[in-house]
Amino acid sequence: MGKKSSKWFKAHINDEFVKLANKENWRSRAVFKLKEIDEKYNLIKTNSKILDLGCSPGGWSQYASRKHKNINITAVDLLCMEKLENVNFVQSDIEDFSEKYLKNADFHKIDLVMSDIAPNISGIESADAAAGLHLAEIVTEIALDVLNDSGNLLIKLFQGKGTDEFLSEIRKLFGTVRIIKPKASKTNSREIYMLATNMKINNSGLHYE
């Protein structure tokens, strides 16, 4: 193991959220980000219909399906994911998913679209910011197609060039937009979460305000 990777590994195993995830049998430390947001805003309710984009290894879906037995989750990722109760997993790029599956009525009237998608990091800041924003835009398009009128949208973003413009567009579409930095999100990371609620448009894209 190189010096850099052994330093990363040490920090990882000593991380309080990694320890807690292992102790409580969660698939990822990312679960604590969703848990903190959900405990504050109660996004995951009994009978909720949820779309989890960029789901693997499955911590967020696992959290939702553990919280309520009566729940309907579709989870999508490029990588495969081990089976989870109440979760219908689709292995796909989200771009292809929106083209192939969204016409299916099963994916309509969704209560929560949540995306913890992270693009492959190249290390070139401008390219990474652009890739992250591109994915956030696809997630938003999917959400506008499938969310019910009172549906919520939770997206991970990486602060950088274009983030403010993206948020201004989201503010035109949703009545309330919150920026959240959960405790489990590393302070040195540009990662933030955007929670958009009170959609201003209906599913056919027409303004009803």
Ligand X SMILES: C[S@@+](CC[C@H](N)C(=O)[O-])C[C@H]1O[C@@H](n2cnc3c(N)ncnc32)[C@H](O)[C@@H]1O
Give the residue numbers marked as catalytic. 156
CB–CB of 33/40 below 8 Å?
no
Residue span binding ligand X (CB under 6 A) among the ranges 73-81, 145-153, 178-186, 195-203: 73-81
Answer for which of 23, 47, 79, 188 binds ligand X (CB under 6 A) is 79
Answer for which of 17, 32, 60, 158 binds ligand X (CB under 6 A) is 60
* 111 vs 116, beta carbon nearer ligand X: 116
* 172 vs 183, beta carbon nearer ligand X: 183
Residue span binding ligand X (CB under 6 A) among the ranges 1-9, 43-51, 71-79, 197-205: 71-79
- 37: tokens are 């947001």
Range 14-33, binding ligand X (CB under 6 A):
27-28, 30-31
CB–CB of 75/90 below 8 Å?
yes
Residue 31: name the closest of 59, 12, 51, 64 by CA.
Answer: 59
Residue 148: name the closest of 107, 102, 179, 114 by CA.
Answer: 107
CB–CB of 50/74 below 8 Å?
yes
The answer to the question of residue 182 lying near ligand X (CB under 6 A) is: no
The answer to the question of residue 77 lying near ligand X (CB under 6 A) is: yes
In the bound complex, which residue of the shown chain has the CB atom lying closest to ligand X? 59
Could you tell me the smallest distance in angstroms from the CB atom of residue 209 to ligand X? 32
Burial class (CB in 10 A: 0-12, 13-18, 19+), 36: middle
Going by C-beta distance under 8 Å and a sequence separation of 6 or more, which residues neighbour residue 113? 50, 51, 53, 139, 142, 143, 146, 147, 151, 152, 153, 154
Q: How many residues sit close enough to ligand X to count as binding (CB under 6 A)?
A: 22
Separation between Cα atoms, residue 138 and residue 2, nearest integer Å:
37
* 19 vs 171, beta carbon nearer ligand X: 19
The answer to the question of residue 128 lying near ligand X (CB under 6 A) is: no
The answer to the question of residue 151 lying near ligand X (CB under 6 A) is: no
In the sheet that holds 110-115, the strands lie side by side as 87-91, 72-77, 49-53, 110-115, 147-158, 191-199, 174-180
Answer for which of 38, 111, 116, 128 binds ligand X (CB under 6 A) is 116
The answer to the question of residue 118 lying near ligand X (CB under 6 A) is: yes
The site for ligand X (CB under 6 A) is made up of: 27-28, 30-31, 54-60, 76-79, 93-94, 116-119, 135
